[in-house]
């Protein structure tokens, strides 16, 4: 904790920490998320209904009214030369101690008509909260927007005294950017909407430019490293020919890019492989590890779950039976003597046993990279990092990939493997759910297929009674399908039991697997042809697309059904978009625009920076920031890009060898 402002003691600091505010600078950059315009000051008789206004007058009467239920109501009657207005609060009996009859006060709020009188419910009051556009901040218990408005207003000069604008003045003018200190003042205390828009643009500009600069710094640092081990070219033709499928065009292109990186004598690989659901990323990981193993060097494939680790282990053993494939989880240790060309497939357990393989490690593959924290991804920090291939099945829109992954070389898989038909997707009306279940029963009995039924929650929540929970649905579904074999898994299921159930499902001894989104990655059962997603409106579209990708992995036609009790048109329109769209990249773009990055990438929050002002969907802003950065470097070649990084800790969190 590091606050220099008076009035912020240990108790207040603890509350601020809940909002991730740990020092003066983070308090200054705690931006409002919306505003109320109380700049219109007006006489009581002229105050229009259902509009935000500020009124001033003399307090005529004050009442604290208590009810038998224990609840209370606070009422002030305010008068001016034109009339009277009622001001009402609820359950704040202490509040009226702030006021006395005959005093003159200003109040602000939305006027309404209550019992025949003009009334403002829960009005704002005081110099920081009336007669202007007032900011509404993200709050926590004990720290309201009123508190933030007062503390920032009282100490604004102290908060900005050490802030200097890093951008050259001529580029500020060329790109029509408001000076930083002025933007910070206007974001907290806007004079009018036009100036507020300019302040928001400047601070959004800074956020995107910060990410672009960080990517460039990281990429330059990687360029300084030559490979720890020089790999020689070995043919992968025989392995490719052994596959029971042909590589797609995008797989062929990606493999040429990866292979060129692995065989480079001058630079270590740092590549992101971004592939849609079912596009065949594992094949590229297999080929990369195979080439490394032929060079008598070790590979580590790091995966987030034991389910996925065991699945990769089986795949690698199938295609590379003569190579030492080693599975490393929390339950088993590495052998004391490691084969020099071992291919290690591991969960987080690798972090604690790295000393057994790190000396001969030439290749690190991180599958589902967003599931690992930054520190976990950089656990192999050294002066000579291995070739690194990160993979994600989350389709990343172009705007985000340019901004967040400019430090990585990017390979993209867009073609689905041959013989795979797109999954047919339907939004099922409430009155058709029973018919859907009847169809599923008939399909399982006739074609011996299997199904997933996914619920957002494990347990039922009192606060979200309409959202389906896996445990409760499991009991209901056992009655709906009494002749079928059903099982339940979720995040609290012990890993041994989970593995047993998945093994039985693989052997078709289970007809329907009821689960939570735990199956989003690492599940590949070609005989599962139907997935039903309960309360589908509570998932982002990209996550729904990932879940949909758990079926359609064989040659049989597969189906995805969305169930929801939500009747909101916007929610239904989003789900209907998935009915007609199977391109994960288009879905991610649509999801980004309709939900925003924080919700769209809910599973990625530890891997993706949060934006307070900017939006990843604002391609025009991103392009402008890229142009600005180019001109900055062209005109000021000695400019230190680190000055642009808003979160300086990100420079160290990306790994020691990136500094």
How many CA atoms does the CB half-sphere of 80 hold within 13 Å?
A: 17
Distance CA 244, CA 307 (A): 23
The reply to whether 10-157 and 424-581 are identical in fold is no
- CATH fold label, 183-420+625-659: Rossmann fold (3.40.50)
The DSSP secondary structure of 532-576, one letter per residue, reads: EETTGGGS-HHHHHHHHTTS--SSS--EEEEE-----HHHHHHHH
Q: Are 293 and 323 in contact (CB under 8 A)?
A: yes
The arithmetic mean of pLDDT across residues 91-100, rounded, is 91
The arithmetic mean of pLDDT across residues 351-358, rounded, is 78
Q: Are 108 and 129 in contact (CB under 8 A)?
A: yes
The arithmetic mean of pLDDT across residues 575-601, rounded, is 74
Alpha helices in 369-513 (DSSP H): 374-377, 398-404, 433-447, 470-480, 495-506
550-562 per-position pLDDT tens digit: 898 888 899 999 9
Q: What is the predicted pLDDT for the residue at 652?
A: 46
Residue 395: pLDDT band (50, 70, 90) is low
Distance CA 129, CA 491 (A): 46
Residue tagged 């330059």 (tokens): 220
Considering just the CA atoms, what is the radius of gyration of the chain in Å? 30
What DSSP character marks residue 368? T
Q: What is the predicted pLDDT for the residue at 598?
A: 47
31-57 per-position pLDDT tens digit: 999 998 998 899 999 999 999 999 999
How many CA atoms does the CB half-sphere of 424 hold within 13 Å?
A: 7
Please give the mean pLDDT across all residues of the chain: 86
Strand 83-90 relative to strand 72-80: parallel, antiparallel, unpaired?
Answer: antiparallel
pLDDT at 330 over 60: yes
The arithmetic mean of pLDDT across residues 293-320, rounded, is 90
Q: Which residues contact 575 (CB under 8 A, 6 or more apart)?
A: 427, 536, 537, 544, 562, 564
The arithmetic mean of pLDDT across residues 48-67, rounded, is 93
C-alpha angle with apex 284: 281 to 288, nearest 5 degrees? 145
- CATH fold label, 10-157: OB fold (Dihydrolipoamide Acetyltransferase, E2P) (2.40.50)
- Structure tokens that stand for 417 in this block: 């493997």
Please state, as a whole number, how many other Cβ atoms lie within 10 Å of the Cβ of residue 532. Answer: 24
C-alpha distance from residue 565 to each of 18, 85, 168, 430, 465 (Å): 33, 42, 54, 7, 11
240-258 per-position pLDDT tens digit: 999 988 999 999 999 999 9
592-631 per-position pLDDT tens digit: 777 655 444 443 333 455 678 887 778 789 889 999 999 9
C-alpha distance from residue 143 to each of 8, 95, 324, 390 (Å): 11, 16, 58, 41
Distance CA 646, CA 628 (A): 17
- Structure tokens that stand for 72 in this block: 């209370």
Q: What is the predicted pLDDT for the residue at 377?
A: 47
Q: Are 211 and 217 in contact (CB under 8 A)?
A: no
Which of the listed CATH numbers 3.40.50.300, 3.30.70.20, 1.10.10.10, 3.30.70.2080 matches domain 424-581?
3.40.50.300
**Residue ranges of domains in the chain:** 10-157, 183-420+625-659, 424-581
């Amino acid at each position: 904790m590091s606050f220099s402002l008076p009035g912020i003691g240990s108790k207040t600091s603890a509350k601020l920490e809940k909002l991730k505010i740990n020092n003066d600078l983070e308090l200054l950059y705690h931006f409002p998320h919306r505003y109320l315009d109380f700049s219109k000051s007006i006489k009581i008789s002229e105050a229009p209904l259902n509009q935000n206004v500020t009124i001033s007058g003399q307090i005529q009467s004050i009442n604290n009214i208590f009810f038998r239920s224990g609840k209370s109501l606070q009422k002030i009657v305010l008068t001016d030369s034109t009339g009277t207005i009622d001001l009402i609060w609820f359950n704040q009996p202490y509040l009226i101690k702030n006021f006395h009859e005959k005093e003159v006060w200003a109040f602000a709020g939305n006027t309404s008509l209550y019992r025949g009188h003009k009334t403002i419910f829960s009005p704002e009051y005081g110099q920081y909260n009336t007669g202007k556009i007032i900011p509404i901040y993200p709050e926590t218990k004990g720290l309201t927007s009123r508190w933030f408005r007062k503390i920032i207003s009282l100490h604004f000069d102290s908060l900005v005294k050490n802030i200097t604008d890093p951008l050259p003045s001529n580029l500020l003018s060329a790109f029509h950017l408001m000076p930083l200190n002025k933007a910070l003042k206007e974001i907290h205390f806007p004079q009018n909407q036009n100036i507020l828009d300019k302040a928001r643009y400047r601070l959004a500009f800074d956020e995107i430019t910060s990410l672009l600069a960080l990517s460039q710094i990281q990429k330059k640092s990687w360029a300084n490293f030559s490979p720890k081990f020089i790999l020689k070219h070995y043919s992968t033709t025989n392995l490719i020919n052994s596959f029971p499928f042909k590589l797609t065009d995008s797989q062929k292109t990606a493999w040429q890019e990866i292979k060129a990186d692995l065989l480079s004598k001058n630079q270590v690989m740092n590549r992101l492989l971004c592939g849609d659901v079912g596009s065949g990323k594992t094949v590229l990981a297999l080929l990369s590890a195979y080439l490394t193993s032929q060079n008598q060097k070790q590979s580590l494939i790091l995966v987030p779950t034991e389910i996925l680790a065991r699945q990769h282990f089986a795949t690698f053993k199938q295609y590379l039976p003569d190579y030492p494939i080693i599975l490393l989880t929390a339950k088993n240790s590495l052998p004391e003597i490691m084969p020099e060309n071992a291919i290690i497939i591991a969960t987080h357990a690798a972090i604690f046993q790295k000393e057994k393989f790190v000396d001969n490690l030439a290749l690190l593959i991180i599958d589902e990279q967003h599931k690992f924290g930054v520190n976990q991804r950089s656990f192999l920090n050294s002066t000579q990092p291995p070739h690194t291939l990160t993979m994600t099945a989350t389709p990343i829109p172009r705007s985000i990939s340019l901004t967040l992954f400019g430090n990585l070389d990017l390979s993209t898989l867009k073609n689905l493997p041959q013989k795979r038909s797109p999954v047919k997707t339907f939004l099922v009306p409430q009155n058709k759910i029973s018919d859907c279940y009847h169809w599923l029963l008939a399909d399982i009995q006739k074609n011996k297929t299997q199904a997933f039924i996914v619920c957002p929650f494990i347990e039922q929540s009192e606060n979200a009674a309409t959202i389906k929970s896996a445990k409760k649905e499991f009991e209901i579904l056992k009655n709906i399908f009494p002749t079928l074999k059903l099982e339940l898994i979720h995040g609290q299921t012990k890993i041994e039991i989970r593995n047993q159930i998945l093994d039985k499902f693989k052997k078709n001894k289970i007809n329907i697997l009821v689960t939570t989104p735990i199956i989003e990655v690492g599940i590949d059962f070609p005989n599962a042809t139907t997935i039903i997603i309960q309360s589908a409106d509570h998932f982002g579209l990209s996550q729904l697309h990932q879940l949909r990708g758990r079926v359609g992995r064989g040659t049989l036609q597969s189906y995805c059904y969305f169930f929801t009790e939500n009747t909101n048109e916007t929610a239904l329109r989003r789900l209907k978009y998935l009915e007609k769209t199977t391109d994960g990249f288009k879905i991610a773009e649509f999801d980004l625009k309709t939900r925003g990055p924080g919700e769209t990438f809910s599973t990625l929050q530890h891997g993706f920076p949060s934006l307070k002002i900017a939006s990843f969907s604002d391609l025009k802003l991103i392009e402008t920031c890229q142009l600005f950065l180019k001109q900055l470097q062209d005109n000021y070649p000695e400019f230190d890009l680190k000055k642009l990084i808003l979160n300086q800790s990100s420079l160290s969190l990306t790994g020691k060898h990136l500094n």
